[in-house]
Amino acid sequence: MRGYTYRLQLVCFAASLLCVTGCGGSSDAPTTVKVEGTVTFDGEPLSEGSIVFDPADGKGGSSAGGIENGKFMFDSQLGQKKVLISASRDTGKKDQYDEPITESYIPAQYNSQTTLTADVKADGENKYTFELKSK
């Protein structure tokens, strides 16, 4: 059930991002550019997870994407961003509905209490490398 709950939370989060950023078409829409990069955890590519770029000043919309095999790519608005990275893994246990139980294993300093930042610019490549450590 927890795996289902995690997927449902991810879908709801993505839907809320669409509501916040809109579907486009407006000439006064904020400029977005492609951001891409890599995420490692203890020196190994993060197999899967999610990454969010939140405006550091709290103004404007957030952008998010998935991480697969240590790589991510999505569109983001310009400016200084707080970066939040999350991932969960199977604990090997099952709940009362025989669903796998997962746990978040990325330390808070990379998500809820993030210290990660990115400066998204209009000119040049916006490539980032985030090297996370468990301790």
Q: What is the DSSP string of 75-133?
A: EEESEEEEEEEE-EEEEEEE-TTSPEEEEE-S-GGGTTT--EEEEE-SSS--EEEEEE-
**Residue 104: CATH number of its domain:** 2.60.40.1120
Task: Answer yes or no: is pLDDT of 6 > 80.
Answer: no
pLDDT digit string (tens) for 58-100?
A: 998 999 999 999 999 999 999 999 999 999 999 999 999 999 9
Could you give the number of structural domains in the chain? 1
Percent of the chain with pLDDT over 70: 80
Parent domain of 72: 2-22+29-132
- Which of 22-31, 62-71, 103-112, 122-131 comes out lowest in average pLDDT? 22-31
- Which of 10-14, 56-60, 83-87, 108-112 comes out lowest in average pLDDT? 10-14
Residue with token string 């490549």 = 125
Q: pTM (2 decimals)?
A: 0.77
